[in-house]
Amino acid sequence: MCGGQGVTEPHPTHTAKDVMRGSDVVALESPLFRFSDEVREALARGRPVVALESNVVAHGFRAPDNLTVALAVEAAVRAAGAVPATIAIAGGRFVVGCGTEELELLSAAGGAAAKVGGRDLAVALARGELGATSISATMAIADRAGIATVASAGLGGVHRGAATSFDISADLTALTRTRLIVVCAGVKKILDAGLTLEYLETQGTPVIGYRHLPFPAFYCRDSGFRTQVALDDPREIAEVARLHLEFGGTGSVLVTHPIPVTDALDGDRIEEAIRQALDHAAAERITGPAVTTFVLRAVDAATGGDASAANRAVLISTATAAAEIESARAALVGGVVDAR
């Protein structure tokens, strides 16, 4: 079970205001939630908090690199003035703010930890199993916990060939079911960026480029498509999000921020590696969610490990951007700007 020091039951008098929802107050009295002391206090005081997925710890990298990356991402959030809240599932509860012990457990578990998407939440809770949350699950939990901003390396999207396979990530529909600011580096290059943007437009999800107009493609800074608008000031993004979320049923705001120039990979090189990996996956009859993991590992092997280094850079870059925007959001609603 994931129950290390620093993780507590919800305080009896604690409520958390989701300040991006006007006057609505979300009470976190549910026994399904366990908060770290740091995250609980930050939410109570209106300090900036950034939710992080735990899937990257268990499944994104091999041990011990996965723990090193997880700690580096949390450090990046702190350095930018916010409190990191890595989210996981353990013992039939949502853990909001994993401590070092929890992160070590996820790191050691690796593939033995269940990969939990949005539709898997109830099953994971009922089984009491250790679960590493994907972005869709992290969004759902963060939304209920009163956290306003989520950081992820790459969002799921519309897969290549979706016209016949209907393979569209649950991350996209999760954006319509939550009221958050979601910061990512676009979609992985193995997906169809153009169709993903069309899908986002259809469901009314704003797509804002943070200091970068091109829609990024995870390892690469430019997918060949553009975001809806580029904004340079995190305070302006916070204001756009506030206005958007004042309207009921409008869903989350998506903010994209690219991998740093020095860490970006060549698009043509990645495209060729992806093509070969997809052909191999088809020949091996690998389908569903397993395709993404298979292709990403094949691309990493084809690039001599450069893809893993880029993955780490993306995680830190988006975490930093999310913390900057979340700090601006907290200041906008009267919270404490610097959580350090």
HSE (side-chain half, CA atoms, 13 Å) at 72: 17
Q: How far apart are CA 15 and CA 178, in angstroms?
A: 19
Is 167 known as a binding-site position? yes
SS3 61: coil
Q: Is 17 a catalytic residue?
A: no
Residues sharing a CB contact under 8 Å with residue 82, sequence separation 6 or more, in sequence order: 47, 48, 49, 50, 149, 322, 323, 326, 327, 330, 339
Which residues are CB-contacts of 144 (< 8 A; sequence separation ≥ 6)?
26, 33, 94
42 is in an annotated binding site: no
* 171 known member of a binding site: yes
Q: Indicate which residue of 53, 102, 104, 324 is catalytic.
A: 53
The answer to whether 169 is a known ligand-binding residue is yes
Given 17, 74, 188, 324, the catalytic residue:
188
- Angle at the Cα of 274 (from 270 to 279), degrees rounded to 5? 155
38 is catalytic: no
Q: Are 100 and 142 in contact (CB under 8 A)?
A: no
Binding-site sequence positions for Mn(2+): 167
Catalytic (active-site) positions? 53, 188
